[in-house]
Amino acid sequence: MAIEGPSYRSAADNLEKIAGYRVVRHEWLRQRLLEISLPTKSDHITNRVLFIQVDGLHVSRQRSHRKSKEEKMVAVHQGWSVNGERVSLIHKRHFHHETDEPFWEAVEHFLYDTFKYDPMVHLLVINGDQASWIQDAKDYFGKNAYVIVDRYHIAKEIKTIFRGHPRKNAIQRAFLDYNFDQLIVELNTAMGTLPTLELEEGAEKLLTQIENIPDAFKDYRKWLEAKGIDIKGMRRMGNAESTMCVMAMRMKNGTSWSDLGARQTIQGLISKHDRLTVHINYGFGESVNIEDKQENKKSYKKQVRKTVKESVRNNVPYLTKSIGKPITQALRGLQGV
């Protein structure tokens, strides 16, 4: 609750509603979160290609001359797994840049430690916006990496600039088909026909960006195919924004953070989504490792029923109401579910 919820106070209030009394203070939850440590967990690379999504999350800061600080985040996966209509990412892991080490150097160390990355063997496909610190990956990794611009951003720009324009569909079709030459032609054709100066400047800026880094707007699968990689099952990249969603819902809810608080909360979110063991000091002279495990379902259900029964007895005031109340009728109706 404290990691994913809107605030520490909200987590403490929710625990009170469940138990019927004040279980812990919100400050206690905050202090425990600040003590989280995240160990390294290695994932074996199953193919030669690692897919890397990169983005920055601007988080408000407490008592700082800067209104916000950009938290640089990375999500790495090894491809896509399709089960019916459901698509999931294989061995997805998150990385948060916390040190003074150059960003891409820190990312490379993360790849070494987590995926046993070998620059002589593995190839990287890196997806992000046009920020200079993201595009610097081309110079750092050289021929081992193919850097593309996040298609979500470009599709959004095209939709905004050419809304209602007769060439909009042709521009979108060329973009979706990775038809780079046709996209340039369509953009040039549309220049000078937009209704406002602001839109004209936006179209000109977009055209310049595409012409300056043409490879970033092409299909990365062609690059992999030329290197002898089987591209079957590889999909379009463009979900760097979704990488930030799990973080933004907690970090950008009107809260201002200290540097330590922001760092530890992001670590907690990463531990949950990556199923990592978390080391927490509970403040009673002992420490506990919390690990996400798949328990035997039958024994787990028995344990939950017994624990809940003992925990709520005389502790949840609403459940002590007389028989005939709506909650009693609802619980009887759910019996055996």
Same domain as 204, residue 65:
yes
Residue 1: inside a domain, yes or no? no
Same domain as 166, residue 67:
yes
Same domain as 186, residue 129:
yes
Same domain as 135, residue 30:
no
Write the pLDDT tens digit of every residue in 186-211. Answer: 999 999 999 999 999 999 999 999 99
Write the pLDDT tens digit of every residue in 300-320. Answer: 556 656 665 665 556 666 556
Whole-prediction pTM: 0.69
Residue 3: inside a domain, yes or no? no
**How large is the average pLDDT for residues 94-123?**
92
Pairing of strands 123-128, 145-149: parallel
State how many domains the chain has: 3
The parent domain of residue 118 ranges over: 49-248
Same domain as 259, residue 232:
no
Instruction: Determine the pLDDT at residue 284.
Output: 45
CB 62 within 8 A of CB 255: no
Residue 44: inside a domain, yes or no? no
Same domain as 161, residue 30:
no
Same domain as 115, residue 33:
no
Distance CA 210, CA 200 (A): 16
Write the pLDDT tens digit of every residue in 250-309. Answer: 777 767 777 777 777 778 787 777 777 665 555 544 444 545 444 455 565 566 566 656
6 three-class SS = coil
Supply φ then ψ for residue 50, to 5 degrees. Answer: -115, 135
Same domain as 64, residue 130:
yes
